[in-house]
Amino acid sequence: MLKEFRPALFMLLLMTLLTGGLYPALITGLAQTLFPHQAHGSLMHHQGTIVGSNLIGQPFSDAGYFWSRPSATTPMPYHAGSSSGSNTGPTHPDWETTIKNRITLLKESNPQQKLPIPIDLVTTSASGLDPHISPAAAQWQIPRVARARGLSEQTLGDLVARHTAGRTFGILGEPRVNTLALNQALDQDGTQP
């Protein structure tokens, strides 16, 4: 029996060392060397302080900021530890009420805007953590942000255009705007809301 046990124990120790130690150390080292920003969580800094990650959305409710896509995570919005959708669909009565409330809030906050509200300003993403909004959603918010900050709509339109990322590899996904990066750039000009 010891004859069969010895090779099995050797393989267990060898595979533990390889897959539990050497392989993770190699991959971590490669990631740290080749992709240091991503390996550390794609963190964003402002004046030496970490303000978030460009991979996870954040709530913005002040009129002088571009608002993010709504989040359905609990117990608070954009909670990375509980990434999920709301599990309510278009036929659920609570979903309809939630959407109507979001539409009302958006219209009240931006009464001069007569264009239709882009869908991503009233619906959540599947993860509830999406840091991006569509360029149309950013453009829709420009009158409110311009009024709150005392900036021209043209200035904000140019800022949105500079922060609009195209399709990945030119074909995947849709153009998008990272809300945290856009708001961070908005604050860098010194004009506070």
Give pLDDT tens digits for 45-73.
777 888 877 888 888 889 899 999 998 87
pLDDT tens, the chain, 193 aa long: 778 888 899 999 999 999 999 999 999 999 999 998 888 877 887 778 888 778 888 888 898 999 999 988 777 787 877 777 667 778 888 888 888 999 999 999 998 888 999 999 998 888 888 899 999 999 999 999 999 999 999 999 999 999 999 998 989 989 999 999 999 989 886 555 5
Quick one: which H or E segment has residue 38? helix 36-39
- Among 123, 154, 136, CA closest to 66: 136
Instruction: Pull the structure tokens for residue 19.
Output: 């897959």
> What is the phi/psi pair of residue 154, to 5°?
-65, -45
d(C-alpha 95, C-alpha 91), whole Å: 7
Q: What is the DSSP letter of 160?
A: H
Please confirm whether the linkage preceding 75 is cis (ω < 30° from 0): yes
Burial 42-69 (b: 16+ CB within 10 A, else e): eebeeeeeeebbbbbbbebeeebbbbbb
Query: CA distances (Å), 31 to each of 16, 50, 160, in order?
Result: 21, 21, 31
Q: Token match 């009420």: residue? A: 97
Report the distance separating Cα 38 and Cα 8, nearest Å: 39
Q: How far is CA 9 from the centre of its chain?
A: 46
pTM of the model: 0.78
Which tokens hold the place of 107? 């219209």
| 116 Cβ neighbours under 8 A, 6+ residues apart | none
